[in-house]
Amino acid sequence: MSLASMTGFSRIEGGYDTLTWTLEMRSVNGRGLDVKYRFPAGFEAVERLGRDLAKSRFQRGQMNLTVSVGSAAAKTGVTLKKDVLEFYLEASRALIDAGEAVTPSVDGLLSLRGVIEAAGDERAELNAEAEAALVVDLAALFDRLKEARESEGRALEAILKGHLITMAACVERAKGLADQQVEAIRERFTRRLDELLPDAQDFQERVLQEAALLATKADVREELDRLTSHLDQAHQLIEGEAAPGRKLDFLAQEFMREANTLCSKSAFIELTQTGLELKASIDQFREQTQNVE
């Protein structure tokens, strides 16, 4: 099962009878599934229809659906609404006779709302047949968005697996250094003690106990084992689970927790450098998981 991104775009042009419409949908990453709608009056059905279509196809993402409507049989020119003009003239006549207003100019009258009606100003009506055609286009719009998100998801999957390979290489290198670290701590402790207490033969048993305790505290093999387990789990999520984005993000936090402990326990520069390289790769991995559905 391939990954899906939460980023995508789709566009559909369609219509029914004299109505034409353009549907556009944009999707970005989000914590849950959130669809926002913009449509003209008369197209309220878009929100109801879109809600069901989104739930059946997506689990996460913030989406914006925009509907633009026109008319395939739109007339050119304008229409003078004489009844509206007569209403304004009648309403102003009493004010003019009382001297409270001047006779309005022609351009003033024509600028009043409703006196001039441009072609295409009528409210679009979405009847049952038009709604059925709109459903088909909306479904196609959501399907195209799903395809776009899956296409980006395939590229995202390759990037994530690349980071996992880098992380696994760091873990293997750290495992090789882990045994050296234990010996280095024992040797450093013994050398330092010899410098401070040259005649410490009477405390040899105690010295060995303290050296063993320090080496145990600095042992990073447990963290490395957990990192290996997390890497296996990440591969399983990417390859076999639908919408693993949240789980991958949580797993990235666990990666970082173990890497931080590894660096804090490090007793020599090679292991510290490996831990820092591991942390850098984990940061990149987590950044990419933010866009996984």
The domain locations on the chain are 8-74+124-151, 78-118, 153-289
Which CATH class name applies to 8-74+124-151? alpha beta
What is the pLDDT, as a whole number, of residue 246? 94
Per residue in 251-272, pLDDT (tens digit) is 999 999 999 999 988 878 899 9
State how far the Cα of 285 lies from the Cα of 167, in Å rounded to an integer: 9
Query: What are the Cα distances from residue 263, in Å, to 166, 179, 181, 216, 254?
Result: 17, 15, 12, 15, 14
Taking CA 240 as the corner, what is the angle to CA 237 and CA 246, rounded to the nearest 5 degrees? 35
Tokens, residue 172: 């293997």
Query: Is 156:8 a contact under the CB 8 Å cutoff?
Result: no
Q: Are strands 33-38 and 78-80 parallel, antiparallel or unpaired?
A: unpaired
pLDDT 10s digit of each residue in the chain, 293 long? Answer: 689 999 999 999 999 988 899 999 999 999 999 999 999 888 888 999 999 999 999 999 999 999 999 876 544 556 788 888 888 888 888 888 887 778 888 777 777 877 776 555 445 567 889 999 999 999 999 999 999 999 999 999 999 999 999 999 999 999 988 877 767 766 766 666 666 666 655 555 665 566 555 556 667 888 999 999 999 999 999 998 888 999 999 999 999 999 999 998 887 889 999 999 999 999 999 999 999 99
pTM greater than the 0.75 cutoff: no
Give the pLDDT of residue 121. 45
Q: Note the pLDDT of residue 122.
A: 45
CA distances to 6, 205, 211, 290 from 218, in Å: 42, 20, 11, 33
Which residues have C-beta within 8 Å of that of residue 185, sequence separation ≥ 6?
211, 214, 215, 218, 267
